Amino acid sequence: MWKRAVCTKDCPDTCGLLVKVENGRIVSVKGDPDHPYTTGFICKKAGFFPEHIHSPKRITTPLKRTGPKGSGRFEPMGWDEAMKEVAFRMKTVSSEFGPEAILPYSFAGHMGLVHRHAGHAFFNRLGASGLDYTICGPAASAGFEASLGKGPSTEIQWASQSDYIIIWGSNTLTTNVHAWPFFNKARKAGATLIVIDPYRNRTAQEADVHVMIKPGTDAALALSMMHIIIEQDLIDHNFIARKTIGFEKLNLRAAEYPPARAADICGISEEMIVRLAEGYGRAKAPYIRTGWGPARQLKGGMAMRTIALLPALVGAFDKPGGGITRSLGGAPSDLRALTRPDLRPSSTRTVNMVELGHALTRLDNPPIKMLYVYLSNPAVVAPQSRDVLKGLAREDLFVVVQEMFRTDTTHYADIILPGASFLETTDLYRAYGHNYIQMARPVIPPVGQSRPTLAIFQDLAARLGFKEDVFSLSEMNCIENFLLDASPFMEGVDAEMVKSGKPVRLNIPPNPYAHGFTTPSGKVEFFSQAMADQGLDPLPDGEPLRDPDGGDRYPLEFITPPHHLFLNSAFNEINSIREQAGPAKVMIHPETARVRSITNGDPVRVFNDRGECRFLAHVTNDTQAGLLVAEGLHWPSLSPGGGANQLTSQRLTDMGNTCAFHCNRVEIAPLAMTTTSITR
Ligand SMILES: Nc1nc2c(c(=O)[nH]1)N[C@H]1C(S)=C(S)[C@@H](COP(=O)(O)OP(=O)(O)OC[C@H]3O[C@@H](n4cnc5c(=O)[nH]c(N)nc54)[C@H](O)[C@@H]3O)O[C@H]1N2
Ligand SMILES: Nc1nc2c(c(=O)[nH]1)N[C@H]1C(S)=C(S)[C@@H](COP(=O)(O)OP(=O)(O)OC[C@H]3O[C@@H](n4cnc5c(=O)[nH]c(N)nc54)[C@H](O)[C@@H]3O)O[C@H]1N2
Ligand SMILES: [Mo]
């Protein structure tokens, strides 16, 4: 029997799935052809869901540590005993150090609105340290917000009418594959496809033009495009007069970025910049799909803000097919009824999740004494692993991890709680790559003794004596009471239709920018007073800022974009995926390799002051001289070598306090050699 489900992995596409169940087991997964956006095909990873859900490595009972911390030795325990122990630790840590000594750490292992937010009310009521959920998108959204305002951007389907598509820092064919048919439709009608990315990723390989930009230099490129577009009078005077502010000031700033200067900053030719500006400026309906790549830089907010100004200059928002996409969808309602920030004591501190390493090793008054991890794998995904692992290994830190598998994080747990998967829970899903919501019911019961996140927190709430209603609601109650109410996005949404499990369109127009902008002025802000008020440059600024740590000793740039076969750190647990992915590799340009006596396939070490990790060298022209690229997050425990996050830093971006995952300076050497014997 085929049952309808929704893919919950942290990906913009949030696919409609059909799942075949036989004798209580999932045997096959395919795309739901009735989903208007994902239209019946799935990515390679989703085909492995039967193996993922019924993996022999699935954790099926609570486990307690038996060996020394970090030994990875555990034995089964009952749920009652586990919950008693966790509740007891929460009480003793709270009374000895105060509840702020407890830190929850969660992210997007399960994207359902109910389960993803199931712990918030609990930790607020407990008075635990809060968590700032900054590991992914806030720099990108803050950048867009300064220029265009908050809210959903141009819908991807809209781009099928465009004649000029720029994919700007997104590996669409890997991370957002359901956008591709819409871009292809435009290309069949004659559209040009440009990719702006530091390396020739899968998507760049399929483009008409690949602009191989240096990381962190997008704002300079965008400003230079503006320079040319203004100089050649390719601007939309009418749109600028009616719907923007600050054009004169922008003009002066853009004048500082002639192509010669930008070419130098961006590492591309002047001709390329002129060609790009003319192509964009002359197009009938130019469209930009930004990924999150340009935002994962120390000046990532500024980069996104600057890119987001281009459509206004040429009036693209008024043209069918024109616009710009970052994030889509909308929360069906205010989530506060579910997350209950009002229960939180007023002066409670918040920890930025990017700075987990600092929090576990340096934070005081009080120090973190208990860490509760769920729906996340910080030992692999959080930056600057050396600090994170040092913190997790602390003997005096009590670590609870809710997981489906024995990950590098559970390795450091005192207690592991088996979490139910998305195919075993009821939830409501919004997407960030399309404007449909969809509800899913369990297609099988929880595997083994695993439990849904909501049930686990309700059990703990009862043991701690929390009496508020929010701690006794079922998944369906949460959806009906809080999520299906009358927010503007939900206007006209039929609740019964949602409950039927079919994808339902939110009340969001395909190109919201045609209806106005939610900036303070209600216009596109070339000049942003809000940024000036935050002490930031109110105009776009193209001066790049690179990783300052270690200086000239680390002459190479290092980026860590997503892997085609992994989803952040997920899917490492599946043997056949790992075999296909092979060992962790680092892409290196032939010239950069030659001067270091590195040849293709050599084991190498990549290092900086933050750490070191090992890869096999992949010598290729798909990257540029001076740039190393390591796709994906291999679990260090299964792919010895340390993991790419050994090299990343906890420094925060200019806006949004996000991680600059793609802003690192490093050196590389053949494994056998020491640092001092490198020849240049
Ligand atoms: N297969 C797969 N799919 C995924 C994920 C995964 O891990 N694997 N992760 C999911 C998640 S959580 C997210 S947030 C999205 C992310 O999806 P994307 O936005 O596609 O991913 P990013 O890591 O932000 O990197 C995008 C591209 O930006 C490039 N880039 C890096 N620095 C710069 C720069 O300074 N300028 C420019 N122009 N480009 C730059 C990278 O080389 C990369 O090709 O994908 C989701 N989908
Ligand atoms: N170097 C580098 N690091 C990065 C990035 C990068 O580009 N480069 N990308 C960053 C980004 S964009 C993001 S969003 C973060 C992601 O950070 P995380 O959200 O922590 O990413 P995942 O690796 O998907 O880990 C989720 C964990 O939840 C568990 N899980 C999944 N589904 C379920 C479920 O249904 N129930 C239960 N109980 N558990 C489940 C999985 O087993 C998995 O271990 O990583 C960031 N880290
Ligand atoms: Mo992400």
> Do residues 428 and 501 make contact, with C-beta atoms less than 8 angstroms apart?
no
CA–centroid distance, residue 372 to ligand 1 (Å): 28
Cα separation values, 167 from 139, 173, 328, Å? 18, 11, 16
Q: What is the pLDDT of residue 626?
A: 98
Query: Residue 355 and residue 357: Cα distance in Å, rounded?
Result: 5
Neighbours of 537 (CB within 10 A): 15
Q: Is the CB of 200 under 6 A from ligand 1?
A: no
Q: Is 165 helix (H, G, I), strand (E, B) or coil?
A: strand
Mean pLDDT of 571-581: 95
Residue 677: the pLDDT is 41
Ligand nearest to the CA of residue 11, numbered in listed order: 1
Confirm whether 47 is domain-assigned: no
Q: Whose CA is nearest to atom 45 of ligand 1?
A: 175
Q: What is the DSSP letter of 511?
A: S
Question: The tokens 């008693």 sit on which residue?
Answer: 84
In a domain, residue 496? The reply is: no
- Minimum CA distance residue for ligand 2 atom 45: 381
CB-ligand 1 contact for 216 (6 Å cutoff): yes
Report phi then psi at 611, rounded to 5: 170, -170
Rg (CA), the chain: 25
Mean pLDDT (whole number) for 482-508: 87
d(C-alpha 453, C-alpha 468), whole Å: 18
Which residues are CB-contacts of 674 (< 8 A; sequence separation ≥ 6)? none
Residues 598 and 659 both lie in one domain: yes
Domain annotation covers residue 436: no
Residues 163, 294, single domain; the answer is: yes
Phi-psi domain of 530 (left: phi exceeds 0; alpha: psi -120 through 50; beta: other): alpha
Among candidate residues 533, 562, 582, the one where a domain is terminated: 533
DSSP letter (8 states) at residue 475: H
pLDDT at 551: 83
Q: Which residue has the CA at smallest separation from atom 38 of ligand 2?
A: 419
Considering the domain architecture, whether residues 519 and 565 belong to the same structural domain is answered as: no
Per-chain mean pLDDT for the chain: 96
> Is 571 close to ligand 1, i.e. is its CB under 6 Å away?
no
Specify the ligand 1 atom closest to the Cα of 568.
Answer: 7
Please tell me the least confidently modeled range out of 191-200, 432-441, 485-494.
485-494
Question: Does 340 share its domain with 293?
Answer: no
Q: Whose CA is nearest to atom 35 of ligand 2?
A: 421
CB of 196 shorter than 6 A to ligand 1? yes
Euclidean distance between the first and the last CA atom of the chain, given in angstroms as a whole number: 63
Q: Is the predicted pLDDT of residue 120 greater than 60, yes or no?
A: yes
pLDDT grade, residue 678 (50/70/90)? very low
Would you say residue 481 lies in a domain?
A: no
169 lines ligand 1 (CB under 6 A): yes
Full DSSP string of 15-63: -EEEEEEETTEEEEEEE-TT-TTTTT---TTGGGHHHHHT-TT---S-E
Predicted TM-score (pTM) of this structure: 0.97
CA of 233 to the centre of ligand 3 (A): 38
Q: Could you tell me if the CB of 563 is within 6 A of ligand 1?
A: yes
DSSP letters of 69-105? TTS--EEE--HHHHHHHHHHHHHHHHHHH-GGGEEEE
Q: Which pairing describes strands 192-196 and 209-211: parallel, antiparallel, or unpaired?
A: parallel
Indicate whether 392 belongs to any domain. Answer: yes
State the residue range of the domain holding 580: 551-675
640 vs 600: CA distance, rounded Å: 19
Total domains present in the chain: 3
Q: Are residues 281 and 395 in the same domain?
A: no
Residue nearest to atom 23 of ligand 1 (CA): 561
Give residue 71's identity as a one-letter amino acid code. Answer: S
If you measure from the C-alpha of residue 322 to the centroid of ligand 1, how many angstroms do you get, rounded to a whole number?
A: 23
Residue with the smallest CA separation from ligand 1 atom 13 is 11
**Edge-to-edge, what's the strand order for the sheet holding 286-290?**
209-211, 192-196, 164-168, 286-290, 323-325
- Evaluate whether 208 touches 195 at the Cβ level (below 8 Å): no
The tens digit of pLDDT for each residue in 370-385 reads 999 999 999 999 999 9
Confidence at residue 334, expressed as pLDDT on a 0 to 100 scale: 79
How remote is the CA of residue 357 from the centroid of ligand 2, in Å? 17
What confidence tens digit (pLDDT) does each residue in 307-330 have? 999 999 999 999 999 999 999 998
CATH code of the domain containing 567: 2.40.40.20
Whether the link from the prior residue into 366 is cis, omega within 30° of 0, is yes
292 CB within 6 A, ligand 1: yes
Residues 527 and 631 in one domain: no
348 shares a domain with 321: no
Kindly list the protein residues whose Cβ atom lies closer than 6 A to any atom of ligand 2: 10, 107-110, 135-136, 375-377, 381, 402-405, 407, 419, 421-422, 560-562, 567-570, 633, 644-645, 648, 661
Q: Are residues 567 and 584 in the same domain?
A: yes
